Amino acid sequence: MQVTKDSHDPGNPEFTERFSTRLDVGPSDRRVEDASCERIRIRLWKTSLILLDLLLFFLCFAGCAYLVEQQGAKGIHVSQWLASFGLMSLVLVFANICVDAYSRTRCNMSVRDVTEQLIAAAGCFLFVLIVLFFAPDRVFDGNMSLLSAMALAPFISIPVRYFLFRARRRALRFQTILIIAGSDARKAFLEWISLVHHKYVPHFISPQTGLVESYGDEPDALYGMNVEEAIRALSRDLSAIVIAEDPDRLPRNFLNRLVAINFNVTPVYLLDAFHAREWQTVPLTTLSGKWALNEGFRLSQSATYSRLKRLIDIVAASIGLVLTSPVLFVVAVLIRLESPGPIIFRQKRVGLHERVFTIFKFRSMRDGSDKGPLYTMEKDNRITRIGGFLRKSRLDELPQLVNVLRGEMSLIGPRAEWDKLVCDYEEQIPYYHLRHLVRPGITGWAQVNYSYGASVRDAKIKLRYDLFYVRYSGVMLDLCIAVKTVYIVLFGKGR
């Protein structure tokens, strides 16, 4: 019996030749020209970011040197000034390269980007301190100017970079993506896009036929095209291809073609990888009983991280209780004066490994209000006047520092939910219990990315963020959450 190679198999020379011809991945003049233009755009973007960082650092350094000299302090000789600026500029650019600050794929400033740049700036500042400590004064004169400029630069460059990336994102306007999905997966994807308000132009490909299908009332301009023809029609406008179905259910020939496309033309993502890349969430449709057994989890891989996080929790909670003790006293007095009832509100919550514990919060509602509706709504008449302020400023959560010291909570983690609500959620939301693999936190990835949940639908949305934290928890993600929490508290976002 003679075995014939599949004509759609990437290992078949016939397929490779036909594939290269149809997608122009071969050595055509247009393809070479497009690639050359793309490389030029990438280099211009990286160069502009580097020059922007150097210009802002130069202005900070010159301004600080001028102010120091105006105050009668020791000035800097021109040669020393140039030597200091040259060396520290190299250090600054190198630190930003280490955190991938000049990546060509970025068109926005996420909280992770801000956190990484702050870490890079802190590393630069530490390097300057070490150099100035060991170097003789004649080599680096005017230490105060250098230190001041290095400390000031990130607080100027980050806002400037934010507005630059914002302008670039507006110029790009939309992202065009091809989504391989059946009707159910298609509906879920469209609902999520509308929820996060991202600008996408989606084109859906049937996983059975491999052809573009229309959705909604308007016919798709690419209707009837196969994936290769759609890629060629979209050209450089195509950002990615997303497989929203189980890859094992795709026809083997179709999957082989997608593998070849991923290596030769444009990136192809599985649904969970695309969610992690774009929105830092976990799609609930990809969950299964073996989800927590996948590689990539960091829960049990780093005992050092777990111990360090617990140590930080204890130290930070202790210091926080001491520093905020005057605030705690004032809030307690105000609560007592406004309405009768206990100052501290106690409620059963579900924590690590589904253990139930008692959470402590300042009472923000009238006594006995917990016997009413399960959810607190906007302008709920059960909330007291001082309680509304406490909720908006997050001061009602300060007593939870006691829960942190007792080991029932962490500073950062999924929200500790009421045990009554958890029972309902676990009945209606599959795999909801997976969020209990880590300690609940005062703040967390879901809390800083989504508003207060008041329904099962909100719980499902927040679970996407919670499970992302469960899978990718680490020092960097914790720092991102801390930075975004400070922003939310300072500017009063959410409730």
- The 10s digit of each residue's pLDDT in 477-488 is 898 888 888 878
The mean pLDDT value of the chain amounts to 79
Contact 241, 227 (CB under 8 A): yes
What kind and span of H or E run contains 263? helix 252-264
Between 105 and 342, name the one with better pLDDT: 342
User: Binning pLDDT at 50, 70 and 90, where does residue 71 land?
Assistant: low
- CA 41: distance to chain centroid? 26
Reported as a pLDDT band with limits 50, 70 and 90, residue 78 is low
200 vs 273, higher pLDDT: 273
Q: What does the pLDDT read at residue 341?
A: 87
Residues 445-463 have pLDDT tens digits of: 999 888 777 788 899 999 9
d(CA 179, CA 242): 5
Strand partners, 359: 347
pLDDT for residue 348 is more than 90:
yes
The pLDDT value given to residue 1: 39
Model confidence, pTM? 0.74
* Helix pair angle (252-264, 227-234), 10° resolution: 30
Q: Are strands 238-243 and 175-180 parallel, antiparallel or unpaired?
A: parallel
Q: What is the pLDDT of residue 160?
A: 81
> What is the mean pLDDT of the segment spanning 179-201?
84
What would the pLDDT profile of 352-386 be if each residue is shown by its tens digit?
A: 999 999 999 999 888 777 676 777 766 777 888 88
What are the backbone dihedrals phi and psi of residue 210, each rounded to the nearest 5 degrees, phi first?
A: 75, 15
pLDDT tens digit sequence for 392-410? 888 999 999 999 999 999 9
Rounded distance between C-alpha atoms, residue 99 and residue 53, angstroms: 14
Phi first, then psi: what are they for 379, rounded to 5°? 55, 35
Query: What is the C-alpha to C-alpha distance for residues 473 and 270, in angstroms, rounded to an integer?
Result: 21
> In a 3-state reduction of DSSP, which class is residue 270?
strand
* Main-chain phi, psi angles of 78, to 5 degrees: -55, -45
The amino acid sitting at 61 is F
Say whether pLDDT at 83 is over 60: yes
String of DSSP letters for 173-204? --EEEEEE--HHHHHHHHHHHHHHT--EEEEE
Q: How far is CA 289 from the centre of its chain?
A: 26
pLDDT at 416: 95
In this structure, of 6-15, 196-205, 473-482, the range with the lowest mean pLDDT score is 6-15
Side-chain-facing half-sphere of 22: CA atoms under 13 Å: 16
Angle between helix 13-23 and helix 252-264 axes, rounded to 10 deg: 60
> Nearest Cα to 442, choosing from 351, 373, 376, 375?
351
How far apart are alpha carbons 359 and 349 in whole angstroms? 6
Q: Quick check: 75 pLDDT over 90?
A: no
58-72, 195-209, 439-453, 476-490: least confident range:
58-72
**In the predicted model, what is the mean pLDDT of residues 140-150?**
67
pLDDT of 23 higher than 50: no
pLDDT band at 80 (very low <50, low <70, confident <90, very high): low
209-243 tens-digit pLDDT: 899 998 776 677 888 899 999 988 887 778 889 99
**111-134 and 143-172 helices cross at what angle (nearest 10)?**
160
- pLDDT, residue 178, reads 93
- Residues 97 and 117 sit within 8 Å (Cβ to Cβ): no
In the structure, what pLDDT confidence band is assigned to residue 158 with cuts at 50, 70 and 90? Answer: confident
* Average of per-residue pLDDT across 78-100: 76
Asked if pLDDT for residue 167 goes beyond 90, the answer is no
The whole-angstrom separation of Cα 408 and Cα 396 is 18
Architecture field, domain 174-279: 3-Layer(aba) Sandwich (3.40)
3-state class (DSSP) for residue 447: helix
Residue 446, amino acid: A
Given the structure tokens 């360090």, which residue do they identify?
308
Domain(s) of CATH 3.40.50.720: residues in the chain: 174-279
pLDDT of residue 492: 58
Dihedral sign for Cα atoms in the order 472, 473, 476, 479: positive
C-alpha to C-alpha distance for 345 and 418, rounded to whole angstroms: 13
380 in Cβ contact with 370 (< 8 Å): no
DSSP 225-249: -BHHHHHHHHGGGEEEEEE-S-GGG
What's the half-sphere exposure (Cβ side, CA atoms, 13 Å) at 399?
A: 19
Q: Which amino acid, one-letter code, is at 136? A: P
Where do runs of H (alpha helix) occur along 26-77?
29-70
Read off the tokens for 85.
Answer: 């600026």
From CA 65, how far away is CA 181, in angstroms rounded?
Answer: 60
Q: Which of 396, 392, 412, 390 is nearest to 316 (CA)?
A: 412
More confident residue, 110 or 425: 425
